Amino acid sequence: MSDDKLVQGLAAAAVAFGAAGVLAPRLVEATYAVPSTPHTDQVLRLWGSRNLVLAGWILTARSEEETSRALTMLAGMNALDALTAVTVGRGTGAATWLRAALTSGFFAGATAALRARRG
């Protein structure tokens, strides 16, 4: 698969996660074993909107440099999310913090690897 297709795939995943967070926070709560409250709904909608913005940045990048910068930000954001899940998420229960850490860690690694591969 070409690098451009992989970039589009990562952006599509960010759109899917973002749309779920904004439009269906209860689905995300169930997936990550998070109790559904108005507060978690709001936070997941905020989380979803940031994913949509980053996906938009990647999908509208007009140069290789801009794409690389967006991929770097996406990798960093996911690495920070994974670190946060592991270090401060333990009080949320194993199912929640582990799923969050694994998901974010996967996307951090995949994005960083793609960024490195592109040069």
C-alpha dihedral sign at 106, 117, 6, 57: positive
> What is the model's pLDDT at position 118?
86
Give the mean pLDDT of 75-102: 92
Per-residue pLDDT tens over the stretch 3-62 = 899 999 999 999 999 999 999 999 999 999 999 999 999 999 999 999 999 999 999 999
CB 59 within 8 Å of CB 8: yes
26, two tokens: 């209860």
Rounded-to-integer distance, Cα 51 and Cα 53, Å: 5
> What is the model's pLDDT at position 83?
96
Rounded-to-integer distance, Cα 90 and Cα 21, Å: 22
Rounded-to-integer distance, Cα 91 and Cα 118, Å: 38
Per-residue pLDDT tens over the stretch 56-87 = 999 999 999 999 999 999 999 999 999 999 99
> What is the model's pLDDT at position 93?
86
Indicate the pTM of the whole model.
0.87
Rounded-to-integer distance, Cα 95 and Cα 117, Å: 33
Residue 54 burial by Cβ neighbours in a 10 Å radius (0-12, 13-18, 19+): buried
